[in-house]
Amino acid sequence: MVAPYRLADDHIDRLIQIVRDESGDHLARPEFTDVMLKLFEDIAGFETLPTARSRKYLKLLWLRYQIVCGASSRTQARHK
């Protein structure tokens, strides 16, 4: 049985990709948080995500977003 409010690594990767596809690679933390909270509303069970768990996931997702977007920016700069 899957624990409630659990995101596997592939789910995290998909959420990051959705944000990048819809909003790009240059969001500031507040905009990223707003976009991600809206996505949480579309995940079954996450519309009632406890605040502490939400903060934990937002921090993790923000760090992953920065890593992925930073790697993407460095790759693009090398190809110019």
The string of pLDDT tens digits covering residues 27-43 is 999 999 999 999 999 98
| Alpha-carbon separation of residue 62 from 16, 22, 35, 43 (angstroms) | 9, 15, 11, 18
Domain ranges of the chain: 9-78
Q: Say if residues 27 and 65 touch (Cβ distance below 8 Å).
A: yes
Name the pTM for this structure: 0.82
Instruction: Report residue 33 CA to chain centroid gap.
Output: 8
Mean pLDDT of all residues in 35-53: 90
Instruction: Pick the closest to residue 11 from 73, 69, 60, 75 (CA basis).
Output: 60
Phi, psi (rounded to 5 degrees) for 64: -65, -40
